[in-house]
Amino acid sequence: MSGQARIGLAGQPRWFGTLFVVDLWERFSFYGMLAILYLYLVSDRDDGGLAMTEADAAALSGLYLALVFMAALPGGWLADRLFGARRATLYGGLLITAGHVLLAVPSAGWLYPGLGLVIAGSGLVKPGMAAMIGRLYQNSPERREAAFSLFYMSVQVSALLAPLVTGFLGETVHWHLGFGAAALGMVIGVVCYVAGRSHFGDVGVRPERPLAGGELRRVLRRAGWAVGLSALAVVVAAATGTLSLQRVLMAVGLMVLAVPVLYYRALLRAPVVGRAERVRLRAMAWMLAASSVFWLLFAQGPALLNLFARDEVDRTVGAFEVPASWFQSVQPLFLLLLSPLAAVLWVRLGRRAGAPAKFSAGLLLGGAAFVVMAAAASAAVRGPVSPLWLVAAYLLLVCGELAVAPIGLSLAAEVAPPGYTGRMIGMFWLSAAVGAAAGGRLAQLAGVVPDAVYYLLLAALALLAGTALAVASGPLRGRLLSRTGAAASAPPTSVR
Decide which of 455 and 185 is more confident.
455
Distance CA 111, CA 107 (A): 8
Residue 29 neighbours by CB under 8 Å, 6+ apart: 96, 100, 162, 182, 183, 185, 186, 189
Mean local confidence (pLDDT), 36-53: 88
Residue 249 lies in a domain: yes
Instruction: Grade residue 496 by pLDDT with cuts at 50, 70 and 90.
Output: very low
Distance CA 239, CA 246 (A): 17
Greatest Cα-to-Cα distance within the chain, rounded to the nearest angstrom: 68
Distance CA 345, CA 348 (A): 5
Query: What pLDDT is attached to residue 241?
Result: 66
Residues 128-176: pLDDT tens digits?
887 776 665 566 666 666 666 666 666 777 788 889 999 999 998 899 9
Distance CA 322, CA 414 (A): 43
Query: Would you give the DSSP letter of residue 213?
Result: T
With CA atoms as reference, report the closest residue to 28 among 190, 149, 185, 176: 185
- CA 198, distance to chain mean position in Å, is 28
Residue 7 lies in a domain: no
- Are the C-beta atoms of 141 and 491 separated by less than 8 Å? no
Residues 310-355: pLDDT tens digits?
999 999 988 888 999 999 899 888 988 887 888 788 878 877 788 8
Residue 248 lies in a domain: yes
Residue 5 lies in a domain: no
Q: Residue 399: pLDDT above 90?
A: yes
* 97-106, 243-252, 270-279, 468-477: segment of lowest average pLDDT: 243-252
Residue 321 lies in a domain: yes
Q: What is the CA radius of gyration of the chain?
A: 22
Residue 199 lies in a domain: yes
Distance CA 264, CA 282 (A): 9
* Domain region containing 243: 14-205+219-484
Instruction: Grade residue 495 by pLDDT with cuts at 50, 70 and 90.
Output: very low
Q: Which among 70-74, 229-233, 292-296, 424-428 has the top mean pLDDT?
A: 292-296
Q: Residue 246: pLDDT above 80?
A: no
Residue 409 lies in a domain: yes
Say which CATH number the domain at 83 has: 1.20.1250.20
Provide the b/e sequence for 250-261 (b: ≥16 CB within 10 Å).
eebbeebbebbe
Residue 187 lies in a domain: yes
Mean local confidence (pLDDT), 91-107: 91
419 burial level (CB within 10 Å; 0-12, 13-18, 19+) = middle
Q: Which residues sit opposite 13 in a β-bridge?
A: 6
Provide the b/e sequence for 451-484 (b: ≥16 CB within 10 Å).
bbebbbbbbebbbebbeebbeebeebbebbbbbb
> Can you count the helices (H) and strands (E) in the chain?
18, 2
Give the number of domains in the chain.
1
